Structure 1
Amino acid sequence: MTQKDVANQCFIDRSYYTQIETGNRNPSRYVAINIAKVLNFDPSVFFTEELSSPFQLALQNVPIVIAHCDLELKYTWVFNPHDDFIDNDTIGKKDKDLANNEGIDKLTVLKQRVINSGISGQCIIRFPLSNGWTNYLVFASPLVDSLGHVTGVATSSINLSNLEPLGVNVKEQA
């Protein structure tokens, strides 16, 4: 699809689209949503810089992986992947493209069930990784558009393997 095709389908000027594509201009929310629909990706990609700074600061030391997948279970966004996958370009790939094991099979089943039912789910999944077997508590929720149609699945996966109680008592303040 050419820049002209995308611009025409989004009802914007081609030069404006070119500036968006090269990163010289940020689209409005409305334009971002239209471009995302035409190119079949999540419009939040346009605004991740604005949202990511406090998000990254809050989660920088938390053993959690957050991801979005489309209806075909291809990754459209990933935050904080395990070190085994940092060098892989996960965007546009399915889990089976990245690894093939029992944990991947269970993750795929969970994601597909959430997409098919439109209902969130969770389970503990054990993955064989370079640092040994690792247990993740995986939460999966449907991604929906403004009309309520499921467009994909979001997952939050917490690495349970290295979690230890701190032994700190926290008292509520009245």
Structure 2
Amino acid sequence: MRRWLNKLRKEQHYTQQQVADGAHIDRAYYAQIENGTRNPSMAVATQIAAFLHINPSLFFSDHLSEPFEIALTNSPIVVAHCDLDLRYTWIFNPHPDFKMSPVIGKRDDEIDENPGTLALMDIKQKAIQQNSIVRKRIAFPLSEGLIQYDVFAQPLYDSNGNIIGAATAATELEN
């Protein structure tokens, strides 16, 4: 079951029928996608993702390329995408304090408002507004204390070259 999809749909106050209508697919087909008995095509995943304002790659995150997944899983690196409103559309390898499903669709300040999350939002916004790469060292208060990250943000583009958000890569630094 794709619990993250079910939770995201409910958080946005949609029924399965509304998502299916918004994605131009049959409700029964959407229900099968949500409960995990069917996998959407890339076209259908894109339609659902557009309606829910997420990245379609979330549907295929279980099928990431093995070298990428092996290299980054349990590493001190977090990779993420957000939309123009700075809401997460995709995240890989988040810090253990964060679970993927509650993060998708939310802004950093909705997850935890502190100087670190506000600084992270600021560099994402700068990358989008300035259409440039932004890099900054940011400290986040996490369960094991104040953790420093080297955060790299850059604009995220659609296939037509329009900025649709920001991509970030954050590397935990040794104390």
1:17 aligns with 2:30: yes
Counterpart of 1:25 in 2: which secondary structure?
A: coil
Q: Which has the higher helix share?
A: 2
Distance 2:16 2:102 in 1: 24
Using the aligned pairs only, state the percent identity. 50
1:70 aligns with 2:83: yes
Moved more, 51-60 or 63-72: 51-60
Q: How many residues align?
A: 162
Distance 2:100 2:77 in 1: 18
The letter for the 2-side match of 1:78 is I
Confirm or deny: 8 A CA contact 2:57 2:90 kept in the other structure.
no
Matching residue within 50, 55, 65 for 1:37 = 50
Counterpart of 2:86 in 1: which secondary structure?
A: coil
**Corresponding residue of 1:95:** 108
Change (3 A) 1:3 1:83: closer
Deviations 1:11-59 (A, max 9, x none): 4333322322222111111121122112221111111111164433111
Counterpart of 2:40 in 1: which secondary structure?
A: coil
Distance 1:107 1:138 in 2: 8
CA shift at 1:131, angstroms? 2.7
The letter for the 2-side match of 1:18 is A
Confirm or deny: 8 A CA contact 2:81 2:168 kept in the other structure.
yes
Distance 1:100 1:39 in 2: 24
CA shift at 1:141, angstroms? 1.8
Alignment of 1:65-144 (within 5 A): 65-86=78-99, 89-144=102-157
TM-score w.r.t. structure 2 length? Answer: 0.78
The letter for the 2-side match of 1:63 is P
**Corresponding residue of 1:7:** 20
The letter for the 1-side match of 2:63 is E
Where do 5+ consecutive residues of structure 2 fail to align?
1-13
Matching residue within 60, 71, 83 for 1:58 = 71
CA shift at 1:87, angstroms? 9.1
Pairwise CA RMSD: 2.4
The letter for the 1-side match of 2:174 is S
**Corresponding residue of 1:167:** none
**Corresponding residue of 2:159:** 146
Which of 1 and 2 has greater Rg? 1
CA shift at 1:157, angstroms? 0.4
The letter for the 1-side match of 2:77 is I
CA shift at 1:109, angstroms? 0.9
The letter for the 2-side match of 1:103 is G
TM-score w.r.t. structure 1 length? Answer: 0.78
